[in-house]
Amino acid sequence: MSETVAIATLHGKGAIIRPILAELGWQVQELNSFDTDSLGTFANERARFMSPVECTLRKAAIAADLSGCAIGLGSEGSFSAGPFGLGTFNQELISAVNIEAGWVVTGRFYGPSAVQQWTISDHTALQQALKQLPADQRLLIQQQQQICKGLTLAEAEQQATQLLANGALQLSYDLRAHCCPERQQHIAHAARDLLQRLKQHCPVCATPGFWPDHALPGLPCEDCGAPSSLTRLRRASCQRCQHTESYPVAKSFAAAQYCQICNP
């Protein structure tokens, strides 16, 4: 059954998400009447005052409200240091919100990113930085209060050459979705995760999003049988009727290295 759902975006995310959610019969409509940058930007002209989860839910609710659709979509990306502080990781969240029916389902992607930033003080450093960049990645230049966004490699070289006369500048990826091909791939991964979650319905009330997110530890040690810290079961809980079901993981035992008794 076909249903129109709305996403508020200024950065072309609907084109990424639309073909994936079409499997549900959803027609994703883009709204550009709301300035999503008002909720915060990567370049920090506008500070982010909500967590990524809060922001994606706010965007989804706004999309539903402005469009009159039953379902609104919200998408939000963020970047942070990777595990153990190594590298940079990108998190992408896409939430589907049905306020009237009372459910929320969120798809996720979390993985390493090639995002980089350089402090450029001369033309040699500029050339070295530009050589490392994919041709289709748009760039951002910041110098004091001046910000130039959406620059091609050629435009960035020209703009940076002019600005270097005034001192050092910051050169970085423009991380807005329509300017960052890697983010576009990650958003697609999050949309596929959302699709799989939406297809899983509560066996009691049929609410979507019945997904085994909650990990229960206690997988027995292969040597002594004591419960380890590894996941023993994964539990799905319905957000509406609170029905729960638990599913065993594929492994029956944990290696002794994860046992607090065998390897304290």
Q: pLDDT (tens digit, 9 = 90+) per residue, 174-217?
A: 999 999 999 999 999 999 999 999 999 999 999 999 999 999 99
Report the candidate in 145, 77, 146 with the shortest Cα–Cα distance to residue 108: 77
pLDDT bracket for residue 264 (50, 70, 90):
confident
Flag whether pLDDT at 73 surpasses 90: yes
Residue 78: enclosing H or E segment and its boundaries?
strand 71-81
Please name the residues in contact with 157: beta carbons below 8 A apart, sequence gap of 6 or more. 126, 130
Q: Are residues 184 and 219 in the same domain?
A: no
Residue 135 lies in a domain: yes
SS (H, E, C) 183-243: HHHHHHHHHHHHHHHHCCECCCCCCECCCCCEEEECCEECCCCCECCCEEEEEEECCCCCC
Question: Across the chain, which distance is largest between two alpha carbons, in Å?
Answer: 69
The mean pLDDT of the chain is 94
**Are both 144 and 69 inside the same structural domain?**
no
What domain count does the chain have?
A: 3
Q: What is the mean pLDDT of residues 66-82?
A: 95
Q: Can you give the pLDDT at residue 1?
A: 63
CB 238 within 8 A of CB 206: no
Give a yes or no: residue 7 inside a domain.
yes
Residues in CB range of 113: below 8 A, 6 or more apart = 79, 87, 88, 89, 90, 182, 186
Instruction: Report the candidate in 236, 233, 230, 231 with the shortest Cα–Cα distance to residue 258.
Output: 230
Instruction: Verify that 88 and 99 share a domain, yes or no.
Output: yes
20 belongs to a structural domain = yes
Q: Are residues 121 and 168 in the same domain?
A: yes
Bridging pattern class, strands 88-98 and 244-248 = unpaired
Specify if 209 maps to a domain. no
Q: Are residues 82 and 43 in the same domain?
A: yes
Residues 76 and 155 in one domain: no
The answer to whether 43 touches 149, Cβ cutoff 8 Å, is yes
pLDDT at residue 119, rounded to an integer: 96
Q: Are residues 100 and 122 in the same domain?
A: no
Is 35 or 158 the better-scoring residue by pLDDT? Answer: 158
Q: Is residue 62 part of a domain?
A: yes
224 and 164 housed in the same domain = no
Q: Which domain holds residue 226?
A: 214-258
Same domain membership, residue 183 and residue 80: yes
> What's the number of CA atoms in the CB half-sphere (13 Å) around residue 37?
12
In a domain, 208, yes or no: no
Residue 105, classed as helix, strand or coil, is strand
Shared domain for 108 and 125, answered yes or no, is no
Q: Are residues 104 and 227 in the same domain?
A: no
The CATH number linked to 45 is 3.90.950.10
For residues 45 and 87, state if they share a domain.
Answer: yes
* CA dist., res. 104 & res. 90, Å (int): 22
* pLDDT band, very low/low/confident/very high, at 141 (cuts 50, 70, 90): very high
Section 157-171 average pLDDT: 95
The answer to whether residue 128 scores a pLDDT higher than 90 is yes
Does 204 reside within a domain?
no
Listed in sequence order, the residues at least 6 apart from 242 whose beta carbon sits closer than 8 Å to its beta carbon are none
Domain assignment present for residue 229? The answer is: yes
